[in-house]
Amino acid sequence: MTLQQFFLKQKQAIRNRTEEVFALLRPEHMNWKPAQGALSLGEILRHLWVSEEGVRRVAIDGNFAYYETRIPNGLGAVLGTPGALEDELANIARVHRETLDAVAAQPAELFEQERAYPSLGFRRKVAVILFGINEHEIHHRAQLMAYLRILGTPVPEPFKRPTN
């Protein structure tokens, strides 16, 4: 299995688990946040797809537009206003498909290339950038699970599968 194939397989497996958490979200949760200054649940959802889209463009195209705004100006500069739950979930699904398709269409050698933007202090291999997308989703999935627990919603256990 190539690194590219492993990335694609891992990304889909991570998304399958994340969708179990997405299924527990409700429209009335969208504006909830645990504390002043924290991201709302809706902002986390929006951040997932906006970030993935921007980071994928860095990895695949060498397009640093996302980081040119995000790094000096903070998350708020790229986030925008979350829409309805179903719209944010649709965008997350769209961007996930676009990432899978874009990565699958690349030559395997892409993973060894480097992307650099010295004035932003950025230098990473494409493989590291892409696997960072997966790590980022896991991080925010755990955050969503913590939010749901605070809201009193039982969340799926990681090693327990429903019996049918």
Task: Judge whether residue 118 has pLDDT over 90.
Answer: yes
Task: Judge whether residue 46 has pLDDT over 90.
Answer: yes
The better pLDDT of the pair 1, 159 is held by 1
pLDDT in tens, 88-98: 999 999 999 99
Domain count, the chain: 1
Quickly tell me which residue has 């799926």 as its tokens.
Answer: 156
Between CA 44 and CA 30 the distance in angstroms is 9
Examine residue 37 and state whether it is found in any structural domain, yes or no: yes
6 torsion bin: left (phi>0), alpha (psi -120 to 50), beta (else)? alpha
Between CA 13 and CA 5 the distance in angstroms is 12
SS3 5: helix
Examine residue 164 and state whether it is found in any structural domain, yes or no: no
CATH code, domain with 120: 1.20.120.450
E strands in 38-152: 114-117, 122-125
pLDDT interval class at 158 (50, 70, 90): low
Q: What is the mean pLDDT of the chain?
A: 94
Examine residue 162 and state whether it is found in any structural domain, yes or no: no
